[in-house]
C-alpha cells in the first residue's frame, strides 16, 4: 500500500499540480479566477487545457467529460475521447481551451421543468474553475455548470455558485464596516454521509429495494437498535475492507474522508470528510456517494443511500455542517477580542434572521418522498425548523434581548450595554441531537437533509437568505463609523434577535409538546413533501432569489415542477411495486402455505382420527383471514393509485399521494407484515429484516 501522503489528491488537478504544470503567469491568472472569481481568459484556458490533458494522459486517462449535476440530483457525464485523427491513419490526443471551458451535451432527456422545448434541446456546460478537475475511471472529469442557450440554469450548481457570489458581495460590505479589506468570502460545508450496507444476495431478491431503494414490506427484526451496540461498535471485517478501499479511492480524488464509524441502526454506517468550500464540498459528497455504490459491489455488498430503507430502525441523514469563512477566518467563530465578538454577533444574528425568515424554504429544500419517512419520526428532527444555540450562547442572546447582565459560567458579570462585549468561550460541549439547526461551536449543523439529497439546494437557500440578512445590516449601517457604528450595530442586533426569538428552541425537538409550542409561535410545520413544495414558488421566495440574481421566476417555477414530478413519479413506482409484489410474490406464497397447512390437517386426521388439530386449524384460519385482508387492501390501493394518476395537476396529485395513497400503502404493508411472522420461512418469498440486517 502506498503512503496516504503519496496518493492523496493524486487524481486531482489541484493547486499543487497547477503550480507544477503551468507557466507561472498562467498559474497566477487561473488562481485569480479560483480565489477571486475573476473571469477566465480563453488564452489562459488554452494553456490550462493543454497542461491538464498532458497530466491526465500520464495518469491513464483517454476521455474527458463535463461533469454536472442535473435537476434530478445525481451527476451526469458524457465521455468524449481526446482522440483526433490526423487523416494519415494516425491520431493525436487533443484538448482545447474551448473544450475545457464549454461543452454542448444534447440534453433533451434531462428534466428542465418546461424550461426548454425539445427542439432547442441543447444546453451548454461551463467549467467551474473553483472546483478542481479530477480523473475517475480513466476519464478526466471537469466540474461544470449546465445552462440552456438562453442562459437559464438547468442544474443544481449554477444557482449555488450565484448564491456564493451573493454572500461574498454582502459579507464584504459588512466586513468593510469593521475596517477589513475586500477579500473572498465563501461558505464552507462538511457533510456527514450515512448509508446502509447489505448483502448483494439479499438485495437481488427484493424487488422493492431494486425498484425503490427501500423495503416496502418487512416485519421488524427480533432485535432492532435498542441495545445500541452497533453505534461506534467494531466494524465487520468485510465492511472494514470496503471502508479501506473507499478511503483510498476518495483520498486519490482529494476527498478528505476523515471519520468512519458504525451508526445506530444495524448495518448502518457513516462517513464524514473535512469541510471545504461549499461547491467543492458538494462535488465531493456526490463523488463519495458514487464511489460508495460502486465499491460495495467489490465486497458482495450493496450500498443503500435511501433515507429510510427499513421501517422501525433509524433512517439515514446527511448533516450539513455550514459556516462562512473569509480567508483563514471563520466568521462564525466567536474569537478573542470584543470587536471579533461584535462581528461574530452580527453574523450569528444574520443566520438567526435568515433561518427564521426562510424556514419554509429550508424545509422545502430537503423535502423528498424518502425524507418524509424520517423527519418527525423520532430519529431525525421534526419537519419544524428551529435553532439550538447551546447554553452559553443562548444565555448571551437572552441577555441581549432582555438587556440584563450576562453572567457566564465563572459568574463574571459583563456589561452588554456598551461596546465591550463578553469575551465568551466557544460552546463546543452541549449538543442537542433533536434540533434541526444547531450551533456547534463555530458552525451550524443543519440536520434535516436526508442521505440521498444533493446538498446544493439547501446551501443555495442558506447562502441567499444569509446574503439578505447581511445586506439588510449593511444597508442600515453604511455611513456610520467608530463608536457610532458599534452602538448602532448592538442596537440592530438586539432588535433583530428580539424579532426572531421564536426560532430559537433549546428543548427536546422530538416531543409532542414542541409541536404544539411551535404552532403557538407561528412556526411552519410542513409534514410532507406535497405540503412543503408550494412555498418554493411563493412571491416571498421568488423576491429573495431575484433580489440576489440566484434564480429567476421562470427558473424557480421549473425547479418546483421538477421536484413535484419526481415526488409523483417515485410514489407511482412505489405503488406499482407494492401491487406487483403482493400479486406475484406474497399472495401466491401465502396461498401455497395455507394449502400446505390444510393438507397437513387432512394428513394428520387421516393418520390419527382422534388428533387434536385445533392449533393447525387456528393457523389456517389466521392465514385465510390474512389473505382476505391483503386482498382488501390491495384493491383499495389499486383504486387510490388510479385516482391519483388521473389527477392532471401535479400539485394536486402530490397532495393525493401524500394525504390518501400513502395511508393505504401503509395498511397493505401492515397486512402483509402480519402474515410474515406466522408463515414458514421456506415459504416466504423474500429475505426478511432479520436476514438482511444481521449478515456476517
Ligand atoms: P458530529 O458527528 O459530532 O456532528 P463529525 O466530526 O462527524 O461531528 O462532523 C463534523 C463535520 O463538521 C465534519 O465534516 C467537519 O469537517 C465539519 N466542519 C467543521 N468545521 C466546519 C466549518 N467551519 N464549516 C463547515 N463544516 C465544518
Ligand atoms: Mg453531525
Helix (H) or strand (E) holding 10: none
CA 189 to ligand 1: nearest atom: 25
- Decide if pLDDT at 80 tops 90: no
pLDDT per residue over 38-77, tens digit each? 778 888 899 999 999 999 999 999 999 999 998 876 788 8
Predicted pLDDT of residue 263 = 81
CA of 189 to the centre of ligand 1 (A): 8
Q: What is the pTM assigned to this prediction?
A: 0.93
Output the CA 552–ligand 1 centroid distance in Å.
32
Lowest mean pLDDT segment, chosen from 88-102, 169-183, 648-662: 88-102
Kindly tell me if the per-residue pLDDT of 378 is higher than 90. Answer: no
**N residues, the chain:** 696
The beta strand positions in 180-279, using DSSP E, are 185-199, 257-262, 268-273, 276-277
Whether the per-residue pLDDT at 390 is higher than 90: the answer is: no
Provide the mean pLDDT of the chain: 90
Average pLDDT over residues 472-493: 94
pLDDT value, residue 417? 37
Atom 14 in ligand 1: residue holding the nearest Cα: 190
With bands split at pLDDT 50, 70 and 90, how would you rate the model's confidence at 418? Answer: very low
Beta carbons within 10 angstroms of residue 152's beta carbon: 18
**Counting beta carbons within 10 angstroms of the beta carbon of residue 513, is it exposed (0 to 12), middle (13 to 18) or buried (19 or more)?**
exposed
pLDDT in tens, 618-671: 999 999 999 999 999 999 999 999 999 999 999 999 999 999 999 999 999 999
Ligand 2 midpoint to CA 508 (Å): 17
* Mean pLDDT across 378-404: 84
Non-local (6+) Cβ contacts of 655 within 8 A are: 530
- Expressed in angstroms and rounded, the spacing between residue 322 Cα and the centre of ligand 2 is 11
**Above 80 in pLDDT, residue 387?**
yes
**188 CA to centre of ligand 2 in angstroms:** 15
DSSP string of 609-635, one letter each residue:
TT---HHHHHHHHHHHHHHHHHHHHHH
Beta 63-67 vs 139-148: how paired, if at all? parallel
Name the nearest CA neighbour of 664 among 635, 637, 632. Answer: 637
Distance (Å) from CA 290 to ligand 2 centroid:
21
Query: Hey, how many other C-beta atoms are within 10 angstroms of the C-beta on 385?
Result: 27
pLDDT given at position 404: 64
N-terminal to C-terminal alpha carbon distance within the chain: 26
User: Confidence band (pLDDT; 50, 70, 90) for 117?
Assistant: low
Tell me the best of 321, 427, 447 to mutate to test the pocket of ligand 1, counting ligand atoms within 8 Å of each CB and taking the most: 321
416 pLDDT above the threshold of 60: no
Residue closest via CA to ligand 1's atom 19 equals 275
Coil vs helix vs strand at 182 = coil
CA distance linking residue 147 with residue 124, whole number of Å:
5
Task: Tell me the C-alpha distance between 147 and 112, whole Å.
Answer: 10
Q: Give the atom of ligand 1 at the shortest distance from the alpha carbon of 323.
A: 24
Q: Are 209 and 315 in contact (CB under 8 A)?
A: no
Smallest-distance ligand from the CA of 441: 1
Instruction: State the alpha helices, DSSP H only, in 253-337.
Output: 278-296
**CA dist list (Å): 82 to 41, 54, 397, 474:** 22, 11, 58, 49
Strands 444-446 and 437-439: antiparallel
**Pocket lined around ligand 1, Cβ cut-off 6 Å:** 188-190, 192, 259, 272-275, 319, 321-323, 330, 442-443, 445
The pLDDT of 496-514, averaged and rounded, is 93
Beta bridge partners of residue 122, listed in sequence order: 106
Atom of ligand 1 nearest to the CA of 321: 26
> In the predicted model, what is the mean pLDDT of residues 466-477?
98
Q: Check residue 403 and report its DSSP letter.
A: T
Q: Is the pLDDT of residue 412 over 70?
A: no
Residue 631's contacts (CB-CB under 8 Å, 6 or more residues apart) are 587
Nearest listed ligand to the Cα of residue 431: 1
Confidence band of 413 (pLDDT split at 50, 70, 90): very low
Amino acid at each position: 500500500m502506498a503512503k496516504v501522503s503519496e496518493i492523496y489528491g493524486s487524481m486531482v488537478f489541484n493547486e499543487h499540480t497547477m503550480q507544477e504544470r503551468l507557466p507561472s503567469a498562467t498559474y497566477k491568472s487561473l488562481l485569480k479566477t479560483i480565489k477571486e472569481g475573476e473571469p477566465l481568459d480563453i488564452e489562459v484556458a488554452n494553456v490550462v487545457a493543454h497542461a491538464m490533458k498532458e497530466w491526465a494522459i500520464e495518469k491513464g486517462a483517454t476521455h474527458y467529460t463535463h461533469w454536472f449535476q442535473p435537476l434530478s440530483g445525481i451527476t451526469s457525464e458524457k465521455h468524449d475521447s481526446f482522440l483526433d485523427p490526423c487523416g494519415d491513419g494516425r491520431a493525436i490526443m487533443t484538448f482545447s481551451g474551448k473544450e475545457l471551458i464549454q461543452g454542448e451535451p444534447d440534453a433533451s432527456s434531462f428534466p428542465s421543468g418546461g424550461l426548454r422545448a425539445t427542439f432547442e434541446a441543447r444546453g451548454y456546460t461551463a467549467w467551474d474553475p473553483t472546483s478542481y478537475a479530477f480523473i475517475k475511471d480513466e476519464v478526466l472529469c471537469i466540474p461544470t455548470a449546465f445552462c440552456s442557450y438562453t442562459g437559464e440554469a438547468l442544474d443544481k450548481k449554477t444557482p449555488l455558485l450565484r448564491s456564493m457570489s451573493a454572500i461574498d458581495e454582502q459579507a464584504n460590505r459588512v466586513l468593510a464596516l469593521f475596517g477589513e479589506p475586500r477579500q473572498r468570502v465563501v461558505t464552507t460545508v462538511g457533510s456527514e454521509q450515512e448509508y446502509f450496507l447489505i448483502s448483494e444476495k439479499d438485495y437481488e431478491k427484493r424487488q422493492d429495494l431494486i425498484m425503490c431503494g427501500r423495503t416496502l414490506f418487512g416485519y421488524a427484526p427480533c432485535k432492532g437498535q435498542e441495545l445500541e451496540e452497533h453505534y461506534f461498535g467494531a466494524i465487520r471485517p468485510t465492511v472494514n475492507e470496503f471502508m479501506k478501499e473507499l478511503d483510498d479511492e476518495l483520498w486519490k480524488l482529494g476527498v478528505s474522508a476523515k471519520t468512519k464509524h458504525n451508526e445506530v441502526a444495524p448495518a448502518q454506517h457513516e462517513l464524514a470528510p473535512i469541510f471545504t468550500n461549499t461547491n467543492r464540498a458538494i462535488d465531493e459528497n456526490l463523488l463519495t456517494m458514487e464511489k460508495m455504490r460502486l465499491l460495495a459491489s467489490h465486497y458482495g455488498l450493496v450500498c443503500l443511500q435511501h433515507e429510510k430503507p427499513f421501517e422501525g430502525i433509524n433512517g439515514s441523514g446527511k448533516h450539513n455542517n455550514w459556516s462562512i469563512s473569509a480567508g483563514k477566518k471563520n466568521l462564525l467563530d466567536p474569537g478573542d477580542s470584543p470587536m471579533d465578538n461584535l462581528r461574530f454577533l452580527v453574523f450569528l444574528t444574520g443566520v438567526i434572521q435568515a433561518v427564521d425568515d426562510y424556514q419554509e424554504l429550508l424545509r422545502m429544500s430537503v423535502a423528498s418522498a424518502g425524507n418524509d419517512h424520517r423527519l418527525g419520526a423520532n430519529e431525525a428532527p421534526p419537519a419544524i425548523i428551529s435553532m439550538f444555540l447551546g447554553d452559553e450562547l443562548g444565555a448571551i442572546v437572552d441577555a441581549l434581548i432582555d438587556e440584563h447582565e450576562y453572567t457566564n459560567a465563572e459568574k463574571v458579570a459583563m456589561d452588554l450595554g456598551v461596546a465591550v462585549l463578553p469575551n465568551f468561550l466557544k460552546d463546543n460541549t452541549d449538543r442537542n441531537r433533536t434540533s434541526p439547526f444547531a450551533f456547534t461551536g463555530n458552525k451550524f449543523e443543519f440536520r434535516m437533509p436526508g442521505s440521498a439529497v444533493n446538498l446544493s439546494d439547501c446551501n443555495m437557500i442558506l447562502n441567499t437568505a444569509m446574503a439578505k440578512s447581511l445586506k439588510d445590516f449593511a444597508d442600515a449601517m453604511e455611513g456610520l463609523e467608530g463608536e457610532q457604528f458599534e452602538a448602532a450595530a448592538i442596537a440592530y442586533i438586539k432588535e433583530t434577535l428580539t424579532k426572531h426569538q421564536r426560532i430559537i428552541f433549546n428543548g427536546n425537538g422530538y416531543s409532542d409538546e414542541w409541536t404544539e409550542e411551535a404552532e403557538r409561535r407561528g412556526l411552519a410545520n410542513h409534514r410532507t413533501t406535497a405540503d412543503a413544495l408550494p412555498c418554493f414558488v411563493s412571491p416571498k421566495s421568488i423576491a429573495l432569489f431575484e433580489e440576489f440574481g440566484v434564480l429567476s421566476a421562470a427558473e424557480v417555477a421549473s425547479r418546483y415542477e421538477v421536484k413535484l414530478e419526481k415526488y409523483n413519479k417515485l410514489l407511482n413506482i412505489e405503488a406499482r411495486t407494492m401491487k406487483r409484489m403482493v400479486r406475484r410474490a406474497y399472495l401466491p406464497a401465502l396461498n401455497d402455505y395455507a394449502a400446505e397447512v390444510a393438507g397437513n390437517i387432512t394428513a394428520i386426521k387421516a393418520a390419527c382420527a382422534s388428533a387434536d388439530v385445533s392449533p393447525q386449524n387456528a393457523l389456517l384460519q389466521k392465514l385465510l383471514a390474512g389473505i382476505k385482508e391483503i386482498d382488501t387492501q390491495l384493491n383499495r390501493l389499486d383504486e387510490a393509485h388510479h385516482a391519483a394518476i388521473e389527477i392532471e395537476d401535479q400539485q394536486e396529485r402530490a397532495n393525493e399521494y401524500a394525504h390518501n395513497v400513502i395511508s393505504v400503502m401503509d395498511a397493505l404493508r401492515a397486512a402483509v407484515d402480519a402474515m410474515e411472522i406466522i408463515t414458514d420461512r421456506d415459504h416466504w418469498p423474500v429475505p426478511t429484516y432479520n436476514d438482511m440486517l444481521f449478515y456476517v
